[in-house]
Amino acid sequence: MSIKPIHLSIVGGDPLVRYRELNEILPQLERRGIHVQLVTSAFRELPAEWAKLNSVYTVVSIDGLAPEHDKRRAPATYERILKKYQGPQHHRALHHHFADDEARGYLEQFLAFWIQSQKHNASG
């Protein structure tokens, strides 16, 4: 009996370093019915053809709002991430780990920013 995977997470370093290989691999995984979660810091533009892949979900890892994130993640700055979010509509999500000390009051500010950003993208 052969067991077929149903989900693959591609993480570590940043998978977009190897985007040429992913251009080959991701369509093959979709044809096989394997869902893929690709975790990136969004330092590089996501290839437009990936937006057509229904089983590929991109998760952008961020470290807080712009001042905190930019300090930790250059060159994957907030400005660059926001520009990429305005590009082709990929299946995507944001991921942020909150430390206890920053969660107080910060969570509301963080969510308000990203909810407003999504509303802007949907209307623009």
Give me the number of domains the chain comprises: 1
- Six-digit token string for 122: 């949907």
Rg (Cα) of the chain, in Å, rounded?
Answer: 16
Task: Report if residue 2 sits inside a domain.
Answer: no
30-61 pLDDT per residue, tens: 999 999 999 888 778 788 888 889 999 888 88
The pLDDT of residue 100: 60
The pLDDT of residue 96: 65
Residue 124 near residue 85, CB atoms below 8 Å: no
Q: Which helix (H) or strand (E) holds 59?
A: strand 56-61
pTM, two decimals, is 0.68
The pLDDT of residue 58: 85
Residue 96 near residue 62, CB atoms below 8 Å: yes
Task: Report if residue 67 sits inside a domain.
Answer: yes
The pLDDT of residue 102: 60
Cα 74 from Cα 58, distance rounded (Å): 19
The pLDDT of residue 72: 79
Cα 41 from Cα 48, distance rounded (Å): 17
Is the pLDDT reported for residue 29 higher than 90? yes
pLDDT range class, residue 65, cuts 50, 70, 90 = confident
Domain hosting 89: range is: 7-123
DSSP type of residue 47: P
73-122 pLDDT per residue, tens: 776 678 877 776 665 566 666 666 666 656 667 777 777 877 777 666 66
